[in-house]
Amino acid sequence: MNYDLKQFVGQKEEKNATYKALRKLLALIDDERQTLILAFIAILVNSGLTLVGPMLVGQTVDTYIQTKQYDGVLRNVSILLVVYVVAFGTNYLQSRLMGGVGQRTLFKLRNAVFNKLQDLPVAFFNQNKAGDLISRINNDTDKLNQFFSQSLMQFVGSIFIMTGAGLFLLFIDLPLGAAALSPAILMWVFTQATAAWVKRKNAVNLNSVGNMSAEIQESLTNFKVIIAFNRRDYFRKRFEEANQQNYKTAIGAGLANNIFMPVIGLAANFGQLIVLTFGIYLISTGHFSVGLLISFLSYITNFYNPLRQLATLWANFQVAMAAWDRISHLLAMQTNLQTVENLQTEPDADAPLLAFRNVSFSYPDGQEVLHTINFDLERGKTYALVGPTGGGKTTTASLIARLYDPTSGTVLLDGKDIRSYSSEERTRKIGFILQEPFLFTGTVRENILYGNVAYQSYSNEQLAEVIRKANLDGLLERFDNGLDTKVQTTGDAISLGQKQLIAFMRAVLRHPDLLILDEATANIDTITEQLLDEILQNLPEKTTRIIIAHRLNTIESADEIFFINAGQVSLAGSFDNAVDMLLHGKRVS
C-alpha cells in the first residue's frame, strides 16, 4: 500500500472539491452548534446595526440639518451612539465565541491527527518524513484554528453587510444602485476564475513548509554525523534549498492571496465614481437629495469594504482549505494491518509456533526481498538468522512480528493466520528487540513499564523482585541508580549498550512465546553478552528465540540456523555450514 502523503501534491481536483472540502470542514465544528448559532445571531445583529448608520445619517441631513432642527440631530446622534455601542458588544461577543470554537477545533484536530499517527503502520513512517508530519500537526491545524476563530464569522458578517448594503442601494434607487454594483460582478467573475489557482499556490507553499520542517528535523537528529564529518555545509545547503523553495512558494502564495486587494480597490473606486457622477446629476435635476447621496456613498463603502475584507478572508479560507487537504489526507490513511476476522478461528495445538507459507515480500517501489518462503519455528527452540548485509534478516523478523504483511502468502502463529490476532494478543506473544532500541525520556523504570503496564503500581522494590525472578537483576546492576537511572532519547546520558539492555529487560519481562533479538547484543561487552546468553537459556522452556547477529559466537548455541539472502531462506544445517555460507554467500554441502 502506498502511504506516501506527497502523492497528493499537485493532484488535479475533482469538480466541486472546494464545496465538498468546506462541508467536511464545517462538519468538524458540528458539535459546536449552540455556540455557532449564538455567534451567528451576534454577527447578524452587528451587521444590521452597521447598516442602520448610513440611513440615519442621511435622514438627519435631509430632515433635521437642512431644516435646522437641532434637537432632532441630537436625538439621532444619541441613537447612533447606542447603535455603535451595541454593535461593539455583539462584535466582541462573536469574537469571543468563535475564538473558543477555533481553539477547541485545534485541540480536537491535533488529538485526531496524533491518534491517527499512533494507528498507522511502520510502512507509513518509512514513506513520510517526521518533520513534515510535525508540520501537519502544528502548522496546518493552526491555519484551521485561524480560519475558525478569526475568519469564519467575519466571512458571514461581511456577506451580511455586503448583501444588506447592496439591497439598500437598489432599494434607494434601482438604476443608480445597479450601476454602483456593476464593478462587483466583474470582481466575482475574477474570483471564480482564480480560485483554483490560489488554492494550488497555497497548497504548494504549505508543502514547502513541511519540507523545510523535515530538513530541520533530519539535521537535528543527525547532528553528530554532521559534526563528525564536518559536513555542516551539506545540511546548510539542503536547508538553504528548502528555505529558498519555501521563500519562492510563499511569494507565489502571497501574490495569489493579495491579487484581489488592488482589483477590489479599483472596483470600489469605480463604484464611488459612478455614484458621484450620476448622483450629482440626479440632484441637479431634482430627482435626488443630498442626504440620500450621503447615505448612498456610505452604503457603497459598506458594500465594497466588506468585499475588500472578503478578499483577505478568501485568502485565509484558501490557506485553510489547503491545510485541511493536508490534514484530511493524513486522517484518511488507513492501516493495512487490520485484524482480519473470520479466518481460521481456533489455534491448532500441534501446529508449530510460527510458520511461513509461500511468503513473498517487497517494499513499496522496491525489489522483492523474500520469494515464496516456507519454514516452521518450533516451540522452545533457538533460531539464528544469518546472511549478508541487506540480505533480508530484519525484513523476515519484521514479517514474523507483523510490522508488515506479506505481499503474498501467509504467516501462521500457533497455526492461525497472524492477521487474525488483535495487536494486543500478537504483541503479548511476540517480543521484538529492535536493532535500534528506542527509549523514552524518563527513567529505566518508566521505560521498562512502558512495555509492561501490569507492573505499573509496583514499588521499586517489588519491580526489582520481579526482575530478579526473571534473572534480569545482573543487567539492572549495570545502571548506577538502578531503576531510577535517568534516560534521555537524545544525548548520551546512557550508552547504546545500556539502551539495548533496557530494551532487553522490557521485552523479556513480558514473557513472550517468541522473542526476536535483532542485533540486540551488538553493542554489549562480552561479559554482559554471556550474562544475556544465560538469561536467554533460562527463559521458560517453551519460549522460542530468534537471534539475528553478525557475531558468530552469538549464534553458536542456536538449534537451527537460517541463511537469508537474495530472496531465499535456507536451513544452514550446521554452524560450520553457516560460516561457509556466510563466507561464500552460498550453501556448500
Catalog residues that contact ligand ATP under the rule CB under 6 A: 126, 363, 366, 369, 387, 389-395
The nearer residue to ligand ATP, 7 or 11, going by C-beta atoms, is 7
Task: Report d(CA 572, CA 562) in Å as an integer.
Answer: 6
C-alpha cell, 415: 497455526
Task: Report d(CA 299, CA 146) in Å as an integer.
Answer: 29
Task: Report d(CA 493, CA 337) in Å as an integer.
Answer: 36
Give the bridge partners for 43, in sequence order: none
The nearer residue to ligand ATP, 6 or 308, going by C-beta atoms, is 6
The nearer residue to ligand ATP, 4 or 62, going by C-beta atoms, is 4
Task: Confirm if 514 and 351 have CB atoms less than 8 A apart.
Answer: no
User: Long-range contact list for 157-161, CB < 8 A, 24+ apart?
Assistant: 157/43, 157/46, 157/47, 157/94, 157/306, 158/306, 158/307, 158/309, 158/310, 158/313, 159/306, 159/310, 160/43, 160/44, 160/47, 160/48, 161/47, 161/50, 161/51, 161/302, 161/303, 161/306
The nearer residue to ligand ATP, 206 or 561, going by C-beta atoms, is 561
Task: Report d(CA 488, CA 439) in Å as an integer.
Answer: 7
In angstroms, give the least distance from the CB of 566 to ligand ATP.
Answer: 10
In angstroms, give the least distance from the CB of 226 to ligand ATP.
Answer: 23
In angstroms, give the least distance from the CB of 547 to ligand ATP.
Answer: 13
The nearer residue to ligand ATP, 102 or 387, going by C-beta atoms, is 387
In angstroms, give the least distance from the CB of 386 to ligand ATP.
Answer: 9
In angstroms, give the least distance from the CB of 398 to ligand ATP.
Answer: 7
What are phi and psi for residue 479, nearest 5 degrees?
Answer: -110, 125
Give the bridge partners for 561, in sequence order: 384
In angstroms, give the least distance from the CB of 438 to ligand ATP.
Answer: 16
In angstroms, give the least distance from the CB of 365 to ligand ATP.
Answer: 8
Task: Confirm if 165 and 303 have CB atoms less than 8 A apart.
Answer: yes
Report the relative pairing of strands 442-443 and 354-362 from DSSP bridges. unpaired
In angstroms, give the least distance from the CB of 392 to ligand ATP.
Answer: 4
In angstroms, give the least distance from the CB of 26 to ligand ATP.
Answer: 38
The nearer residue to ligand ATP, 476 or 548, going by C-beta atoms, is 548
In terms of phi and psi (left: phi > 0; alpha: psi -120 to 50; beta: otherwise), the region of 262 is alpha
Task: Report d(CA 55, CA 63) in Å as an integer.
Answer: 12
The nearer residue to ligand ATP, 45 or 433, going by C-beta atoms, is 433
The nearer residue to ligand ATP, 212 or 369, going by C-beta atoms, is 369
In angstroms, give the least distance from the CB of 548 to ligand ATP.
Answer: 7
What DSSP assignment string belongs to 26-75? HHTTGGGHHHHHHHHHHHHHHHHHHHHHHHHHHHIIIIIITTT-HHHHHH
In angstroms, give the least distance from the CB of 124 to ligand ATP.
Answer: 11
The nearer residue to ligand ATP, 121 or 387, going by C-beta atoms, is 387
Tell which residue, 335, 362, 344, has the closest CA to residue 412. 344
Task: Confirm if 424 and 508 have CB atoms less than 8 A apart.
Answer: no
The three-state secondary structure class of 213 is helix
In angstroms, give the least distance from the CB of 138 to ligand ATP.
Answer: 26
The nearer residue to ligand ATP, 168 or 404, going by C-beta atoms, is 404
In angstroms, give the least distance from the CB of 366 to ligand ATP.
Answer: 4
* Amino acid making up residue 54: P
The nearer residue to ligand ATP, 369 or 558, going by C-beta atoms, is 369
In angstroms, give the least distance from the CB of 391 to ligand ATP.
Answer: 4
What are phi and psi for residue 370, nearest 5 degrees?
Answer: -125, 140
The nearer residue to ligand ATP, 130 or 290, going by C-beta atoms, is 130
In angstroms, give the least distance from the CB of 544 to ligand ATP.
Answer: 19
C-alpha cell, 528: 554482559
Task: Report d(CA 287, CA 174) in Å as an integer.
Answer: 13
Torsion of CA 234, 235, 237, 242, to 10 degrees: 150
CA atoms within 13 A on the CB side of 314: 25
The nearer residue to ligand ATP, 260 or 356, going by C-beta atoms, is 356
The nearer residue to ligand ATP, 391 or 409, going by C-beta atoms, is 391
Environment class of 444 (CB within 10 Å of its CB; exposed 0-12, middle 13-18, buried 19+): buried
In terms of phi and psi (left: phi > 0; alpha: psi -120 to 50; beta: otherwise), the region of 437 is beta
Q: Which DSSP helix (H) or strand (E) runs through 79? A: helix 70-119
Please report which residue ranges of 367-433 form alpha helices under DSSP H.
393-400, 423-429
The nearer residue to ligand ATP, 57 or 397, going by C-beta atoms, is 397
